[in-house]
């Protein structure tokens, strides 16, 4: 024991303690080593298990379509000269499935009378996207007739009809203030293609109601076409008038420089290129009244309007002032010689607006007076 009262171990005691400590360290080291070996064994066992699992090939996606048809349909030999229609768009899961079935059946009709087996075999050709996926999941051998196939198809895609417009939608289509009649009718026709079983009377009412205010709408209100065919006949004449007016606008916006210089100088009058119109019809209606009188009367009745800046294609300073056109209200040619007036009267006659000037029925080979 030390002088300060604190116990001091002897050298022999320190050596004994050191020996015991070293022995404990060795024991712990061996124990740790054994634990590591055991872990490695365990990991090695698990690694082999994972390797064995990875070595198993995962199931491959089936690339061939299951055949949902019965044995009779599957073994049926298609007609030798059978031809698939090429204009029918494949159904992709959007739109009325009933309409697709009807289009398919109508286009297959040209191959001959209705044949259930042929319809079944050809129908999958006109499926794509979600519809083709639906077909591929039909149970094998579950379809034995086209009736079963069509019913299953319509039932599955019944919800797709929410994307189809109803006839009420046509009431929202209106001709724009600057929209031509041709563009309006084209846009209207595109909308009607999406509406199944459209009533012709509803179709006619909607297309008339959508016309913009103007002369043509007034003509339709007066003549009251009862069928779509009658409406189209009157619309055809109006579209020709609009196209003629549009052509005149383009011609006015692009004056010829050489012609302009010739008019200002007054020289080379005979060498100036003159505007020449070509008749639009091969046959014309025979009227019981001269064209000049008819033109004057329909101008007074405001059935037509005189052309804006009429006769601008011909310099009025160098024309024959003994001749006057009631339609263009210019000198240089008579009303009977006027191709524009002649075509205009023919269009109005074919629309039924000049019946009082026509004796009997129109003769195709008749010449004008």
DSSP for 207-243, written as a single string: HHHTPPSSHHHHHHHHH---SHHHHHHHHHHHHHHHH
Query: Smallest Cα–Cα separation from 363: which of 269, 279, 254, 284?
Result: 284
DSSP for 10-36, written as a single string: -HHHHHHHHHHHHHHHHHHHHHHHHHH
Radius of gyration of the chain, Cα coordinates, nearest whole angstrom:
45
153 and 97 in contact (C-beta within 8 Å)? yes
Domain boundaries in the chain?
Answer: 71-76+87-163, 167-232, 271-357
CATH class of 167-232: mainly alpha
For the stretch 348-367, pLDDT in tens is: 888 888 888 887 654 444 44
129 and 160 in contact (C-beta within 8 Å)? no
Token pair 């050298």 in the structure block, residue: 11
How far is residue 115's CA from residue 334's CA, in Å, rounded to a whole number? 66
pLDDT in tens, the chain (369 residues): 445 454 556 666 666 666 776 677 677 777 777 766 666 666 555 555 454 444 445 555 555 556 899 999 988 888 888 888 888 889 888 778 888 898 898 888 876 667 888 899 999 999 998 899 999 999 988 999 999 999 999 999 887 665 556 667 788 889 998 899 999 998 888 778 767 677 888 889 989 999 999 989 999 999 999 999 999 988 988 888 888 888 877 777 665 555 555 555 554 444 444 456 678 888 888 888 888 888 888 888 777 777 765 444 455 566 777 888 888 888 778 888 888 888 888 888 888 888 888 876 544 444 444
Per-residue pLDDT, 189: 85
Burial category of 308 from C-beta neighbours within 10 Å (exposed 0-12, middle 13-18, buried 19 and up): exposed
Per-residue pLDDT, 211: 94
Per-residue pLDDT, 51: 47
Sequence-distant (≥ 6) Cβ neighbours of residue 335 within 8 angstroms: 290, 291, 292, 295, 324, 325, 326, 327, 341
How far is residue 324's CA from residue 184's CA, in Å, rounded to a whole number? 37
150 and 101 in contact (C-beta within 8 Å)? yes
Per-residue pLDDT, 146: 93
Per-residue pLDDT, 362: 46
296: left (phi over 0), alpha (psi -120 to 50) or beta: alpha
Residue 346 is encoded by which pair of tokens? Answer: 């023919």
For the stretch 126-141, pLDDT in tens is: 999 889 999 999 998 8
Rounded to two decimals, the pTM is 0.34
């Amino acid at each position: 024991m030390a002088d300060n009262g604190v116990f001091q171990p002897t050298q022999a005691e320190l050596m004994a303690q050191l020996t015991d400590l070293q022995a404990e360290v060795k024991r712990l080291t061996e124990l740790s080593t054994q634990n590591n070996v055991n872990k490695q064994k365990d990991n090695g066992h698990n690694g082999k298990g994972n390797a064995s699992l990875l070595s198993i090939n995962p199931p491959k996606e089936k690339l061939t379509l299951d055949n949902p048809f019965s044995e009779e349909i599957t073994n049926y030999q298609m007609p030798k000269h059978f031809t698939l229609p090429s204009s029918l768009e494949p159904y992709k899961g959007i739109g009325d499935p009933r309409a697709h079935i009807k289009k398919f059946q109508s286009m297959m009709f040209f191959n001959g009378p209705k044949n259930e087996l042929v319809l079944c075999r050809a129908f999958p050709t006109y499926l794509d996207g979600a519809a083709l996926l639906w077909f591929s999941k039909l149970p094998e051998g579950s379809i034995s007739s086209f009736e079963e196939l069509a019913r299953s198809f319509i039932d599955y895609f019944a919800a797709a009809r929410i994307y189809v417009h109803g006839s009420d939608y046509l009431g929202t289509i209106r001709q724009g203030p600057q929209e031509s009649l041709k563009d309006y009718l084209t846009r209207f026709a595109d909308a009607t293609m999406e509406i199944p079983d459209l009533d012709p009377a509803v179709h006619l009412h909607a297309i008339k109601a959508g016309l913009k205010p103007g002369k043509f709408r007034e003509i339709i209100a007066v003549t009251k076409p009862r069928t779509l065919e009658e409406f189209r006949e009157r619309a055809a004449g109006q579209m020709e008038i609009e196209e003629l007016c549009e052509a005149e606008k383009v011609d006015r916006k692009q004056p010829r420089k050489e012609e302009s210089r010739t008019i200002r100088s007054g020289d080379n009058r005979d060498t100036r290129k003159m505007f020449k119109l070509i008749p639009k019809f091969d046959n014309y209606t025979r009227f019981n009244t001269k064209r000049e009188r008819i033109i004057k009367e329909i101008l007074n009745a405001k059935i037509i309007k005189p052309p804006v800046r009429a006769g601008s294609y011909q310099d009025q300073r160098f024309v024959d002032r003994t001749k006057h056109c009631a339609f263009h209200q210019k000198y240089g040619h008579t009303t009977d010689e006027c191709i524009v007036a002649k075509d205009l009267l023919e269009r109005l006659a074919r629309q039924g607006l000049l019946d009082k000037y026509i004796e009997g029925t129109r003769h195709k080979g008749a010449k004008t007076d």
